[in-house]
C-alpha cells in the first residue's frame, strides 16, 4: 500500500492542488477564511459559555488558579475539526468525482487523499494559532509531545472511517447527511464546550471513550 501510495503521489498532489485552488476561489479573503471561521466560532462559543453560562475551564497545567476558557475550547475544536473534516471530505469524494472515475481509469482513493491533504493543511494552520496561544499563556511543556501521537491517531481514524463510508455514500447519498447529524451531536456530547467534571456524575450513560476528548 505504501509503495502504491508513493507511485500515485503526483496524482494525489494534483487532486490536492485542484482543491486548494477551488476551495475559496470566489472569496476576497481566500484561505484567510480557514482561520477566520474557527476563530469566529471560538469567539462566539467563548462568550456564550464562559460569560453567559459561567462555565469554568480546567486549570492550565499544574496551577489550579490559571484557567483560560478560549484555550480549553480551541484545543478541543482543533482536535474535533481534524477528525470531522477528514471524515466528511473523505466520505464525499467518490460521489463528487464519480463522473471523472467513469471516464478515466485511476485509483479511486487518490481524490480522497488529495482532499485530505487540504484538510490537513487547514488543521496545521489552526495548530499554529493554538501553539501561539499557549506560548502567549506560558503553558508549553514536555507534555505537548503527547499531542503528536494523539493527533496522528485521530487523523488516521477519521480518514479510515471516511474511506469506508465513501463507498456506502456513493450508493446511498443520505449517508453523508446522517453522518453530519451524528457529528453535530458528538460535538455537544463530548467535553469540547464544557469540562468533563461538569457532567462527571450525570453522564454515566455516555461511553467513557466519548468523554476523553483531551
Share of the chain above pLDDT 90, in %: 26
Q: What number is the average pLDDT over the span 91-108? A: 86
Residue 158 CA to residue 80 CA, distance in Å, equals 10
More confident residue, 197 or 110: 110
Provide the grid cell at 105. Answer: 481509469
Query: CB of 75 within 8 A of CB of 151?
Result: no
pLDDT recorded at residue 211: 43
Alpha helices in the chain (DSSP H): 2-7, 9-23, 33-46, 69-96, 98-103, 110-137, 147-171, 174-189
Residue 194 CA to residue 76 CA, distance in Å, equals 10
pLDDT recorded at residue 209: 46
Query: CB of 140 within 8 A of CB of 134?
Result: yes
206: confidence class by pLDDT, cuts 50, 70, 90: low
More confident residue, 139 or 77: 77
Secondary structure (3-state) at 24: coil
Q: What number is the average pLDDT over the span 75-80? A: 91
pLDDT recorded at residue 62: 64
Angle at CA 41, nearest 5°, toward 118 and 174?
A: 60
Residue 187 CA to residue 81 CA, distance in Å, equals 10
> How do residues 181-192 score in pLDDT, each as one tens digit?
999 999 888 888
Strand pairing category for 59-60 and 63-67: antiparallel
Residue 123 CA to residue 24 CA, distance in Å, equals 16
| Whole-number average pLDDT of the chain | 84
Which residues does residue 59 pair with via DSSP β-bridges, in sequence order? 67
The full set of domain ranges for the chain reads 30-211
> How do residues 11-23 score in pLDDT, each as one tens digit?
889 989 888 888 7
pLDDT recorded at residue 165: 93
Highest-confidence range of 35-44, 54-63, 80-89, by mean pLDDT?
80-89
100: confidence class by pLDDT, cuts 50, 70, 90: confident
Q: Check whether 102 has a pLDDT greater than 80.
A: yes
> How do residues 145-157 score in pLDDT, each as one tens digit?
888 999 999 999 9
Provide the grid cell at 107. Answer: 485509483
Q: Check whether 212 has a pLDDT greater than 60.
A: no
Amino acid at each position: 500500500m505504501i509503495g502504491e501510495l508513493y507511485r500515485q503521489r503526483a496524482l494525489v498532489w494534483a487532486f490536492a492542488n485542484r482543491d486548494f485552488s477551488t476551495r475559496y476561489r470566489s472569496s476576497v479573503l481566500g484561505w484567510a477564511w480557514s482561520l477566520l471561521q474557527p476563530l469566529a466560532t471560538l469567539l462566539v462559543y467563548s462568550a456564550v459559555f464562559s460569560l453567559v453560562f459561567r462555565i469554568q475551564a480546567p486549570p492550565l497545567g499544574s496551577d489550579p488558579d490559571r484557567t483560560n476558557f478560549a484555550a480549553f475550547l480551541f484545543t478541543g475544536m482543533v482536535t474535533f475539526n481534524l477528525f470531522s473534516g477528514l471524515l466528511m471530505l473523505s466520505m464525499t469524494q467518490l460521489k463528487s468525482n464519480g463522473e471523472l472515475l467513469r471516464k478515466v481509469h485511476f485509483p479511486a482513493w487518490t481524490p480522497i487523499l488529495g482532499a485530505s491533504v487540504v484538510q490537513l493543511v487547514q488543521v496545521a494552520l489552526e495548530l499554529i494559532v493554538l501553539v501561539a496561544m499557549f506560548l502567549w499563556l506560558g503553558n508549553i511543556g514536555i507534555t505537548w509531545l503527547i499531542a503528536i501521537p494523539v493527533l496522528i491517531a485521530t487523523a488516521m481514524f477519521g480518514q479510515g472511517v471516511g474511506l469506508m463510508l465513501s463507498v456506502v455514500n456513493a450508493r446511498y447519498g443520505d449517508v453523508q447527511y446522517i453522518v453530519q447529524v451524528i457529528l453535530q451531536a458528538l460535538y455537544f456530547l463530548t467535553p469540547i464546550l464544557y469540562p468533563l467534571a461538569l457532567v462527571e456524575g450525570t453522564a454515566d450513560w455516555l461511553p467513557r471513550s466519548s468523554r476523553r476528548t483531551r
